[in-house]
Amino acid sequence: MTKTVIYEVRVEFGDCDPAGIVWFPNFFRWIDAASRHFFIECGVPPWQETRQSMGLIGTPLVDTQASFSKTASYGDVLQIHTQISEWRNKSFVQTYRVMRGDDEIMQCTEVRIFAADKVGGGIRAMAVPEEIRGMCS
């Protein structure tokens, strides 16, 4: 069984565009929050702490693929079901289903890395930390 964590979102007026529906970049805002929330729920310390303890500053995105099936509007409450479906050496695959109760609104599959600061600026990929993999599987 793959661990699944649910993150709940209230859609607000300002999340919607002149067509009256959620403006799509906001879905990625919520998915990024769901990604972090997944790690927190699995017991991983916040990135402020992992930056100090192991140099890990976050999990930036490498690839993403998303499909939108239904629209949402303000007043809706969405549930984002999040898993890590695959672990690689220096990256992992995180998947999301955004639901409004039984209706699927959109789904998303991402490849992310564990990032550290790079000497001279920018970021670099770390090997997947074993203890984090253990907590999240």
Nearer to a copy of itself among residue 83 and residue 109 (C-beta): 109
62 binds a copy of itself (CB under 8 A): yes
Q: How far apart are CA 85 and CA 15, in angstroms?
A: 29
Nearer to a copy of itself among residue 34 and residue 99 (C-beta): 34
How many helices and strands (H and E) does the chain possess? 3, 7
Window of 55-63, 82-90, 91-99, 127-135 that interacts with a copy of itself by CB under 8 A: 55-63
Q: How far apart are CA 80 and CA 95, in angstroms?
A: 10
* 90-129 binders of a copy of itself (CB under 8 A): 115, 121-123
The active-site residue, picked from 17, 63, 103, 117, is 17
* 7-46 binders of a copy of itself (CB under 8 A): 10, 12-14, 16-21, 23-26, 28-29, 32-33, 36, 40, 46
Query: Least distance from C-beta 1 to a copy of itself, angstroms?
Result: 27
HSE-CB for 82 with a 13 A CA cutoff = 23
| 108 phi/psi in degrees, rounded to 5 | -150, 140
Which of the residues are catalytic? 17
